[in-house]
Amino acid sequence: MDDPLIIAGKSLKSRFLLGTGKFKNKSELTETILKSGAEIVTVALRRIDLERHADNILAFIPENITLMTNTSGARNAAEAIRIAQIARAAGYGNWIKIEVINDSKYLLPDNAETIKAVEKLASDGFIVLPYMNPDLYTARDLVKAGAAAVMPLGSLIGSNQGLKTKTMLEILIEEIDEVPIIVDAGIGRPSQAAQALEMGVAAVLVNTAVATADQPVLMAQAFSKSIEAGRMAYLAKLASASDLASASSPLSGALFE
Amino acid sequence: MNKDAARTLTRQHFGRTIGLYTPLYISNYCDNHCVYCGFHSQREIKRKKLSSAEIEKECQILHASGIQNILILTGESRLHSPVSYIKEAVEIAKKYFPNIALEVYPLETEEYHELFLAGVDGITLYQETYDQAIYQKLHLAGEKKNFTFRYEAPFRMAQAGIRHITLGILLGLADWEKDIQALFVHLKKLWKTYPGVEYALSFPRLQKIEPDHSSSFPVSDADLLNIIVTARSLFPRVGINLSTRESAALRDSLFEFGVTRMSAGSSTVVGGYAGPEEAEGQFPVCDRRSLKEIKEMLRQKGYDPVITDWRRITNESI
């Protein structure tokens, strides 16, 4: 099935983006990435050892994977911009996930500051994927600012609560067709990832649900299959739901003629 | 909440990871008289304050060990460790470490801001006890007598832009159940006022340093576990530190139930990494394992030791 995901002109087979935090050991991270089929992984710049010690996280990311550094720790647009610039200057490419969070309890993204950071970084040639609270006005502003995708949260980051923001996501799916919509936070189970893809989001980014599973590699494989299934269901067009029963083998009436 | 639920909650929010840091004592001069402390001003111990060259030497040794997060302890003396001296130490440490935190006596907002701009991202300050009557009995002289100035210091830190603030009490000075409740109230007020700061808690237990002072409020190992589990259940996102004051065996058995950061390869002696030991430590280090040994222990227990968890950016006024 030829159904690539296109982000900033890059064609991807996988609709599974993987976060690299919280893994209990780094060699398991490598195998998880490989088995997940993910082609883009995100790494916090704050976790990268620029001196490249032996346990530098980057040494555990397979070569053919697109690295998208993220601005974890940024509290405002200016800090996110500086982190992005450090990442690019250090040679980690120009794919950047913008994360501007100024609330350490709920870890909700600051949409207004995120828009400012995207404007600046997109105009400086970065491929910018902003993490956002699902809000239509913000999504439109991010598209105007040059975002390569918008990444609304499904529920609080790390909460594994699934698509609590479903109604808002549906609005974004309906209205934002210029760039892919990638659900970035809160997906705790493969079935929730499938649900997101069935709804019509272009991809999902998952971290906690995989990294903190007892068997991350197996869980990544489960997500991979569910994401593929969700996408196939979306393309196939879901049958409508009804309150009434509808026979699977309806009588045509021919018996009584 | 039981300890298994606290472990699950910790793994959900932090993964199976433990951040590692090492303390760097640059001075043990003190203006205060805290009756329980090994460093207090009335005690006749060898005093030492590191020169710039000595700070640099300590930093080089620690850097070579592989540590990236450093906690600089300044001693509670404005006279011997003025802000200018601390700032100079930060400027030196910046060359070696991407993440610098301080344990420093309470400062004014402008002073915290000056240190933030110099590259300080975290500050630790212990209220010691929230029981004001006991606080006054224990702190006989010096600026530390001012309970309120100390209590309000974390608010000033946050206002000055500091990213990570660690609060704590010294367990054993007063009724720990009341102190813990007061600490949680303090933290809640701070979090409400400054939600962008990353907060952490630390629960050091008093050790017998000063011969005249022995703890009237002992805190057992089971109590300490209970405190950590309670903190985790009430504040799922808060960091919890566990220092080398505690024994290796206890640290190894406790850390899974809420702890997110541990010190490693620690010396509490001023100039203790370059040696020879010319000054006395604030408290004896119980867990004397090196950074390498702590990392190995964590890996054996199925945890990832996190050495790099912040990359300094140019701090600007916020």
Residues of chain A in Cβ contact (below 8 Å) with chain B = 21-26, 45-50, 53, 55-56, 73, 75-76, 78-79, 82-83, 86, 101-105, 107, 158, 160, 208, 211-212
| Beta-carbon separation of A105 and B237 below 8 A | yes
Of the partner residues A22, A79, A160, the one whose CB lies closest to the CB of residue B14: A22
Over the stretch A69-125, which tens digit does the pLDDT of each residue have? 999 999 999 999 999 999 999 888 999 999 999 999 999 999 999 999 999 999 999
User: How is chain B split into domains, by residue range?
Assistant: 3-302
Residue A27, Cβ neighbours under 10 Å: how many?
9
Q: Which residues of B touch A56 (CB under 8 A)?
A: 308
Cα B154 from chain centroid (whole Å): 13
Q: Which residues of A touch B302 (CB under 8 A)?
A: 24-25
- What SS3 state is found at A124? coil
Query: Alpha helices, DSSP H only, in B66-195?
Result: 83-93, 109-118, 132-138, 147-151, 153-160, 176-193
Please give the mean pLDDT across all residues of chain B. Answer: 90
User: How many angstroms separate the CA atoms of A196 and A16, rounded?
Assistant: 12
Taking the CA of residue B128 and the nearest CA in chain A, the distance in Å comes to 25
- Assign domain A5-235 to its CATH superfamily: Aldolase class I (3.20.20.70)
Please give the mean pLDDT across all residues of chain A. Answer: 92
- What SS3 state is found at A133? coil
Over the stretch B256-266, which tens digit does the pLDDT of each residue have? 999 999 998 88
| Beta-carbon separation of B303 and A24 below 8 A | yes
| Beta-carbon separation of A212 and B316 below 8 A | no
Q: Residue B8 above 90 pLDDT? A: yes
Please tell me the predicted confidence (pLDDT) of residue B290: 87
Taking the CA of residue A210 and the nearest CA in chain B, the distance in Å comes to 10
Please tell me the predicted confidence (pLDDT) of residue B154: 98
For residue B274 the two structure tokens come to 């370059």
B262 - beta bridge partners? B20, B242
Q: Which residues of B touch A75 (CB under 8 A)?
A: 163, 196, 318
Please tell me the predicted confidence (pLDDT) of residue A255: 59
In terms of Cα–Cα distance, which of A182, A161, A184 is closest to A173?
A: A182
Of the partner residues A50, A107, A212, the one whose CB lies closest to the CB of residue B15: A212
What is the mean predicted confidence (pLDDT) over B177-205?
A: 96
Interface test with B, best of A27, A105, A110, A189 (most B CBs within 10 A): A105
Active-site residue (options: A22, A26, A97, A237): A97
Q: Residue B1 above 90 pLDDT? A: no
Instruction: For residue B30, name the pLDDT band (cuts at 50, 70, 90).
Output: confident
Q: CB contact, 8 Å: B13 with chain A?
A: yes
Please tell me the predicted confidence (pLDDT) of residue B279: 56
Over the stretch B104-158, which tens digit does the pLDDT of each residue have? 999 999 999 999 999 999 999 999 999 999 999 988 888 898 999 999 999 999 9
The number of C-alpha atoms within 13 Å of B16 and in the hemisphere containing its C-beta is 22
Do the bridges between strand A203-206 and strand A16-19 make them parallel or antiparallel, or are there none, so unpaired? parallel
Please tell me the predicted confidence (pLDDT) of residue A112: 97
Q: Is the ipTM of this complex over 0.95?
A: no
Active site residue A166: no
Taking the CA of residue B159 and the nearest CA in chain A, the distance in Å comes to 13
Q: CB contact, 8 Å: B17 with chain A?
A: yes
Cα B228 from chain centroid (whole Å): 16
Residue bearing the bigger pLDDT, B310 or A167: A167
The number of C-alpha atoms within 13 Å of A149 and in the hemisphere containing its C-beta is 28
Lowest mean pLDDT among A31-40, A187-196, A224-233, B211-220: B211-220
Taking the CA of residue A79 and the nearest CA in chain B, the distance in Å comes to 7
Q: Which residue of A has its CA nearest to B314?
A: A82
Instruction: For residue B213, name the pLDDT band (cuts at 50, 70, 90).
Output: low
Q: Residue B237 above 90 pLDDT? A: yes
Residue A50, Cβ neighbours under 10 Å: how many?
16
Taking the CA of residue B223 and the nearest CA in chain A, the distance in Å comes to 26
**H helix or E strand, kind and range, residue B291:** helix B291-300
Q: Residue A218 above 70 pLDDT? A: yes
Please tell me the predicted confidence (pLDDT) of residue B55: 96
Residue bearing the bigger pLDDT, B235 or A23: B235
Q: Which residues of B touch A21 (CB under 8 A)?
A: 15, 17
B3-302 topology per CATH: TIM Barrel (3.20.20)
Instruction: For residue B191, name the pLDDT band (cuts at 50, 70, 90).
Output: very high
Q: CB contact, 8 Å: B304 with chain A?
A: yes
Taking the CA of residue A1 and the nearest CA in chain B, the distance in Å comes to 36
Q: Which residues of A touch B191 (CB under 8 A)?
A: 104-105
Please tell me the predicted confidence (pLDDT) of residue A140: 98
Q: Which residues of B touch A45 (CB under 8 A)?
A: 311
Q: Residue B189 above 70 pLDDT? A: yes
User: How many angstroms separate the CA atoms of A56 and A50, rounded?
Assistant: 8
B154 Cβ contact partners less than 8 Å away, ≥ 6 residues apart: B123, B125, B165, B167, B186, B190
Instruction: For residue B210, name the pLDDT band (cuts at 50, 70, 90).
Output: low
Do the bridges between strand A10-12 and strand A5-7 make them parallel or antiparallel, or are there none, so unpaired? antiparallel
Residue for token pair 């009430």: B234
| Beta-carbon separation of A73 and B68 below 8 A | no
Cis, peptide link before residue B276, omega less than 30° from 0: yes
User: How many angstroms separate the CA atoms of B305 and A24, rounded?
Assistant: 9
Q: Which residues of A touch B310 (CB under 8 A)?
A: 46, 73
